[in-house]
Structure 1
Amino acid sequence: MFTKLKERYRESLIILRELVKTDFLLRYQGSFLGIAWSVLKPLMLFCVMYVVFVKFLRFSDGTDTFPLVLLLGISMWNFFTESTTMGLCSITTRGDLLRKINFPKYIIVVSATINALICMSINLGVVIVACILSGVQFTVNVFWLPINLVQLYLLSLGVALLLSTLNVYFRDAQHIWEVVLQGLFYATPIIYPLSMVEQKLGEVAPGVGLLIEKLMLLNPAAQIIQDIRHNLIAPATTPTIWTLSDNIFFQMIPIALTFAMLLWGVHVFRKYSPKFAEVM
C-alpha cells in the first residue's frame, strides 16, 4: 500500500513540476525582457499608484517608509490576483490534457498558483532589497513572515479551486471575478493607509472609524497584507487586527475564514472534478 502511495504521489510531483516549468516558460515566451517583467510590472504599477495617490491625492501615513509599504502591498495583492485569476482559467485551458491523460486534476490549479508564487517571491526579494537600501530596521516580527505568506497562499489556493470549478460550468465567472477583484482592491487598504479610514470617518462620527477599520480587517486578504507590512517594514505605524482588538475570538475570524475558504474550495473541486472532461 505504501509503495503504491509513494508511486502515485511521485508521478503527481513530476507532472506538477513539468506543468509549473512549462507555464513559467510560456508566460514570457516571445517577450524581449522575459522574466524581467515579473519585476517590472509591479514596479511600473507602483510608480503610477505613487504619483496618483501619494503625490497628488496625498495618501500617506506620514512616514518615510510608506512608499515601501505601498510597494509591498501591491506585490502581495498582485499575487492574490494572479493566483486566483490563473487558477480560475487553469482547468478550461487544459481541457485537451484532461481528456488524454488520467492524473489528479487539482495539480493543474496548484501549478497555476505556484507560478504566481514564484513571481511573488521575486517581487518580495526586490522589496527586501529596497528596505535594506532604505535603512529599514528589521525587528523580530520578520519571523512571522513565513506564516503570513503560507496563510496568503492557502487563501489564494482555496479561492482558485472554487473559481476553477465554477468556471467549468459557468464561463461568465471570469468576468464576474474581475469586477469582484476590483471592488476588493479598493476595499483593502493597499493604496491608502488603514489609519486614514479612522482619521476621515472620525471627523464625521467619533468611534466609527475604528469600528470600520476592525471590520475591514475581517477580510482575510486585508488582514494578511497588513500583517506582512507590519512584520516586515513598519510595526509601529501599521495597524493590524492584533493591535486594534484584544478579543481573541475577533482576531481569529479572518484566519478561520481562510481555512474555511480552503476547505470549501477543496470540497467543491473534489465533488465536481470527475465530470470536468465530460462538461468541457
Structure 2
Amino acid sequence: MSDAVAEMELRPVRGPSALGGGGRRFFELLYLISVTEFKKTYFGTVLGYVWSLLRPLILFGVLLFVFTQIFRIGSEVTNYPVMLLFNLVLFSFFQEATNSAVTAVVNQEGIVRKTQFPRLVIPMATVLTSLLNLGMNFIAVLIFMLAYGVAITWTWIFLPLIVAVLFVLTAAVAMLLSSLYVRYRDVAIIWTVGATTLFYGTPVLYPFEIVPDEFRDILLVNPLTPLFEQARHWIIDPSAPGAVGAAGGWGPLIAPIAIAVTTCVLAVWVFNREAPRVAEEL
C-alpha cells in the first residue's frame, strides 16, 4: 500500500526551457513571429512601411531645430545633423526593443502556456522586429548622409560590427527585463525612467567631448557611450576621437565593457532560471 501511495505522490514538473523544443524549432518560430509582428505594426495604416522612415525623421527634425537654432550646439560639431540622425536611429532601436520586451512574455500568456514553446522566442522576437525597423531606418540615414556630403570611407565596413554589438546588448537587456517583469511588475515603471535616463546619459544629442570633465567618468560607465563614440568615428567623422580617444585610453573602458559582459551573462542566467516557471507565475 505504501509503495502505491509513493508512486501516486505528486512531483513538481519543470516547464519548457528557454530553448524548449530544439534549436531548429526555436529559429523557425523566431523568424515567423518576428516577420509577423513587423507586418502587423503597419497593417491597416495609410502610409504602411513609410512610417518606419518618417518616425525617426520627424523626431530628428524637432531635435535638430532645438540644438541648432536654440542651443546652438550643432554649429560647433562636424556633421552634427548626420550625427544626430544616425544616433537617434541607433538608440531608437535599443529603446523600442527593450520597451516592447518588458511586457512581451506576459502579453503572450496564451502562447507561453503551450507545451514545449521556447520561452526565449518571445523577447528575441521583439528585438528582431526592432532590428527590421532599424534596417528600414538606415535607408533614410544613408540617403541623408550622402545628400549632406559625408565622405564614404573604408571604415564604413565596421557598421555591421556596431549593429551586432548593439544587438547583443539589447537582446541581453530585453531578456533580463522580460523575465523579471513576470514576477515584479514594477520593472515596467522602473525601465521607463531608466531608458529615458540612458537616452540623455548617452552621447546621442551631443558629442562626448563637450561634456564637462567632472561628468565624463559617469557617462563612460554607460556601455552605450563608447559604442556610440566609436560609431561616430567610423561612420560620421573620422576626426572624432573614437571610444579610446574619448576615454583617454583603454583603462576607463574596462568598466563599461565589464558592465556589458556582466549584463549578458546575468541575462542568460536569469532567463534560463525563470523560463520553466513562467506559466505558473502568470
Report the TM range for the smaller structure's normalisation: 0.7 to 0.9
- Cα distance in 1 for residues equivalent to 2:155 and 2:92: 23
Deviation digits for residues 212-235 of structure 1, max 9, x if unmatched?
334413311122122112211112
Q: How far off is 1:265 after superposition?
A: 0.6
Residue matched to 2:24 = 10
Structure 2 residue runs without a partner (length 5+): 1-18
Structure 1 residues 17 and 244 mapped into 2: Cα distance closer, same or farther (>3 Å)?
A: closer
Deviates more, 1:58-67 or 1:19-28: 58-67
Q: Do the aligned residues in 2 keep the contact of 1:60 with 1:193 (CA within 8 Å)?
A: no
Deviation digits for residues 141-185 of structure 1, max 9, x if unmatched?
223222221111111111111100111111121122111111111
Is 1:224 matched up with 2:238?
A: no
User: Normalising by structure 1, what TM-score?
Assistant: 0.87
Q: How far off is 1:246 after superposition?
A: 5.2
- Cα distance in 2 for residues equivalent to 1:60 and 1:133: 18
Deviation digits for residues 189-239 of structure 1, max 9, x if unmatched?
211222221xxx3xxxxxxx2x53344133111221221122111121x33
Deviates more, 1:100-109 or 1:269-278: 100-109
Structure 1 residue runs without a partner (length 5+): 202-208
Please give the root-mean-square deviation of Cα atoms over the aligned residues, in Å.
Answer: 1.9
SS at 1:104's partner residue?
coil
Structure 1 residues 265 and 39 mapped into 2: Cα distance closer, same or farther (>3 Å)?
A: same
Q: Do the aligned residues in 1 keep the contact of 2:227 with 2:243 (CA within 8 Å)?
A: no
Residue matched to 1:144 = 158
SS at 1:100's partner residue?
coil
Write the letter of the residue equivalent to 2:165. Answer: Q
- Cα distance in 1 for residues equivalent to 2:56 and 2:127: 18
Structure 1 residues 139 and 212 mapped into 2: Cα distance closer, same or farther (>3 Å)?
A: farther
User: Normalising by structure 2, what TM-score?
Assistant: 0.87
Residue matched to 1:103 = 117
Residue matched to 2:267 = 265
Q: Percent identity?
A: 30
Q: Do the aligned residues in 2 keep the contact of 1:98 with 1:277 (CA within 8 Å)?
A: yes
Tell me which structure has the larger Cα radius of gyration. Answer: 2
Deviates more, 1:59-68 or 1:150-159: 59-68
Residue matched to 1:132 = 146
Q: Do the aligned residues in 2 keep the contact of 1:148 with 1:228 (CA within 8 Å)?
A: yes
